Structure 1
Amino acid sequence: MQQFDNLADAQTLALAIVDTLPEPFVVLDQELLVLAASRCFYEYFSEDAAQTHGRPFFELGGGQWDIPALRRLVATILSERTSMESIEVEDDFRHLGRRTMLLDARLVRYEDSSSPTILIAFRDITARRAVEREKQELLEHTERLLDEQQTLLHEMRHRIANSLQIIASILLLKAGAVGSEETRLELRDAHKRVMSVAEVQSHLNDVDGIDRIDVAAYLTKLSAGLAASMIGPHHGIEIHVEAGEGTLPSSDAVSLGLIVTELVINALKYAFPTARAGARITVALEFDGSGWKLSVADNGSGRAAAPPSASSGLGTAIVAALAKQLKAQIREVSSGSGLRVEVTHATFSSHVPLAA
């Protein structure tokens, strides 16, 4: 440690250190007279050094420092002989206007003297507080917009659900009124498709957000809805879901749900021409990273039992279009033990070979 021959040298060094501090800094005696201040203090607050030294601190700058909060700070330090940090003071300052200052103050006691000194450092945080207020206002504005968006979203979902129910009812009424059996069947198929979209919409209403959908829960609910609306009480056909854990973007999940609906409709129409025990349709979804593979399989009579139009009808065209949109490939495997249709996403890497 540097040793000084006399007190004057030590004071000279102390004053030099104070003068080079990058932030405003002032040294007061116990009577609150200014003993020293940094160059930054004089420049920042437009104080004259010659008229500052030895004057009462609270009289400087026409009394700009005579702030109740600052007086309490100094009084606390003198009475409790302690230090205080990050004390925020907001007031109007000469030449600066309204400012927010952060003050750090410390009482220094000496072994050979009963007269302590007070060190006060100043940091102008006006700009920081302004940025924080702007951020808070922006956050509050964003939250209001999100609340408004959520309200509009709920309203839109409600209207869409009502519209789908109206369309489904009209299709069902028309199906009962037409004389042509072929037209009646087409209208009933259209009704089933609308109900499938309604089921998708219902699931979206039940989840907290719409960005990504839990596919296992979605397919389970969708399949239950399909079974309830399309399988009569005497058919005895079970729809079973096997889906791994994973989520998909809501737009992909909707398309996947429509594909499942079309494949289940085809299976119900053609896989079981006669009632049989243990009839089952299995909807399975497997994930591999960002890829996935959907399969809809039945244990019915296979493709051979279906009429030629079954492979070129509207449902097949819808599945092909949706698969293309999802960047997926379609593959069918038919045998005497049933038909399986697989829709495989382009990024899926299967670890299980496809059985015949």
Structure 2
Amino acid sequence: MMLEDLYRLLRSGHVQAQGVVDTITQPIIVLDQNLCVVTANNAFIKTFKADRDDIQGRVFFELGNGQWDIESLRQLIGGIIPRAAAVIGYEVKHDFPVIGQRTFLVDARRLVHPDDNSANILVLFEDVTERQRHDAEMDFIVSETRHRMKNLFAVVRSIAMQTETKGRTAADYRDTFLGRLDVTLRAQEISVSNTPADFEALLRQSVNPLGAERFHCTGPSVQLSNSRIMPVSMIFHELATNAAKYGALSGQDGEVHVTWSLEDGPRGRVFLRCEWREENGPAVTMPEHKGYGTELIQATCAHVGGMVELKFHPEGLNAVIKFPV
């Protein structure tokens, strides 16, 4: 029910007016010219945990040990109301002793009785605390989603632009692009949890399903921070992709062995040293030109402050990767 509806109902003096007001779920109170409580509905009593007998006839600002003695509310009722017929949506924030921090929108109107021309004040309270909290949460979620989508599109564009097209069929380009995009999205899912990622689990996820059963890992438990999840995933996915196309995983008997350890580095930093070793695959020769995969691995490793050494042994590729953790 709106303030004007209440005003017309109470001004009519109808015998059922008070009963109707008591059914309204919003707290309502009526004050006389001296700002003493004439009546309060059930919602007011319940919301502010008041006793009807204790508030009847008392000055409004003395109720509840002065919990309503709020400067902004004093200005509204004591100053604004006498000069205006109504005030709608006046926001009051206060830490109430009994119900805690609350935000109310206050509607108030002078209520002139037709019989004796006395002027009371009708005050209606709407608790918007939860609504404002919900709105703030939604604003944050929308803002965060927009930010993440913008970053994700930038990553997708970067993958698309940096995936080489020369000498490739459309199907080959598609498969390469989707493979890189898939590992990127899986790394994103891990990083948004804001918790460290286990290196071995991330390593296996980056390689899977490219010959997972012929992929062997050995090393201590290492936790990677969020900033390392994406680049590490891209590095090892690229190594696994190359192994599946040209290296050990392209044959039936080939295997990949990955071992790692922690080493002390300069300025007290700790480095992860990881060795990628391919065995029992086709003979390997030094490539005539540095491919995009090699460039991606080297550039990504450098981006996180590390280095990579690629050795094309005849029996299989050997890569040594080091980066700070």
Q: TM-score, normalised by structure 2?
A: 0.48
Rg comparison, structure with higher value: 1
Q: TM-score, normalised by structure 1?
A: 0.44
